[in-house]
Structure 1
């Protein structure tokens, strides 16, 4: 079986103070992309890791209480920048995407989760508590358990790193998302309940899709933590997410940074 190909994409961005996201950065507004990734799987076709912002999030921010989310985290999204629009440019219809792997339930990651697909979530039970907007954890405004929750299936079980797998240290447990060693999910505790990242063996090396484990590649590589004010919104404040894996082959970091 040929390797999975990872295409990093962006659906909108948000504004935040740089000093909050990276220790030592200036106190000025900076745009942070709502990143997601398209995985071209040789068997399952186009697979999404998160979706970025969607039009439903923008609409929800025009009414109460979603307006509070927009005040705390201003969002910019052009209609042609949505995941649906970008997939159409690449020749994919929404029904072609049969799987969406969800890192966590924040608005910049599941804003377009109503695409016609089955969603693989790290913690689907939490959808029942995610319908509100502007909560400290940044959950997606307008996300209703009556809608996409019916298409969420349980998390893939975490197991010890199996023999024959690539070097996935320091992760001691992984989940084989499709059961074919093509996509590995790993726990990334700290930012949001049940957050996961992906390790994808590509032809040129192991790609690391880090979700919101860091706001930038530089912050991750240079171990620049966010400001303590930002950490106050994290789900687990005293635990630091694992570092990027040390790979026998080359690692190609493909983070999907976003807002808090």
Structure 2
């Protein structure tokens, strides 16, 4: 795999009961950061993996029924998360961003897309199609806010399902293949089904020679992977497909056990993010 630079940065957070994200978890509310991957490609410039929260999320959840989303998962979005201020704080020139990769279309992963609407969007056709289906109540129940994804994004979409399928390095076993979204072997989309329609992760190799699997919301925490502890059925049935979710969790657990140098980064796990930031090879 061609090596790329990578940073894993929080952009906003939400609070909800830990028990809804892992079987046997505490009923107390826990902060869940929304992580954004900043990928420095040697030829393509900067690509983002998801966008985290954005003030647009507050505007989009002002009215009912979308406001239910904000009620059930209270969100923290400070003024420092305004797009121009946040991106400048990361030392990124917006002109250097060449595309955005979306793991899935839940609001906490796409809230910043309006700032990137003219750029190539790499995503799953199944996820975008599901977002565009009618029914506001249905969308809110599934964590979808269609207004966060401008129509211009649809026009720029390049779908994972249509990218060439190639073999993954052994470091990702039992995941064996991915979709080569740039055509150079650097960024391989890996389907991680169950959380919602069109849910994918991303496999990459960093410049310091670490293999990473960005797992998005296939799990909410590294602990869930280590202990094979899925969310309660209520959570997975509400958002997606429980049997598929648990099969994906089993495969992530196998990857963790077999490949101790593989870093698996869920999108909402502060502990895994901190270990990665500290340079630990075991991101799980």
Structure 2 equivalent of residue 88 of structure 1: 88
Q: Which has the higher helix share?
A: 2
Aligned partners of 1:210, 1:199: CA distance in 2, in Å? 9
The CA deviation string for residues 146-205 of structure 1, in whole angstroms up to 9 with x for no partner, is 343222223353665438x45432123310121111111100000011111011112232
Structure 2 equivalent of residue 208 of structure 1: 213
Is the contact made by 1:52 and 1:83 (CA closer than 8 Å) also made in structure 2? no
The change in CA–CA distance for 1:48 and 1:83 in structure 2 (over 3 A counts) is farther
1:151-170 to structure 2, matched below 5 A, reads 151-157=156-162, 161-162=166-167, 165-170=169-174
The CA deviation string for residues 24-59 of structure 1, in whole angstroms up to 9 with x for no partner, is 111111111111211111111111000001121111
Structure 1 equivalent of residue 120 of structure 2: 118
Q: How far does residue 144 in structure 1 lie from its aligned partner after superposition?
A: 4.8
Q: How far does residue 7 in structure 1 lie from its aligned partner after superposition?
A: 0.6
The change in CA–CA distance for 1:94 and 1:114 in structure 2 (over 3 A counts) is farther
Structure 1 equivalent of residue 59 of structure 2: 59
Q: How far does residue 249 in structure 1 lie from its aligned partner after superposition?
A: 7.8
- Note the aligned Cα RMSD (angstroms): 2.5
Aligned partners of 2:225, 2:197: CA distance in 1, in Å? 20
- TM-score, length of structure 2 as denominator length: 0.81
Structure 2 equivalent of residue 257 of structure 1: 268
Higher mean displacement: 19-28 or 136-145: 136-145
1:178-217 to structure 2, matched below 5 A, reads 178-202=182-206, 203-217=208-222
The change in CA–CA distance for 1:19 and 1:191 in structure 2 (over 3 A counts) is same
Partner secondary structure for residue 238 of structure 2 = coil
- TM-score, length of structure 1 as denominator length: 0.88
Higher mean displacement: 97-106 or 115-124: 115-124
Is the contact made by 2:163 and 2:181 (CA closer than 8 Å) also made in structure 1? no
Q: Which runs of 5+ in 1 are unaligned?
A: none
The CA deviation string for residues 213-243 of structure 1, in whole angstroms up to 9 with x for no partner, is 1111111222111012212213222212131
Aligned partners of 2:213, 2:84: CA distance in 1, in Å? 24
Structure 1 residue 228 and structure 2 residue 233: aligned?
A: yes
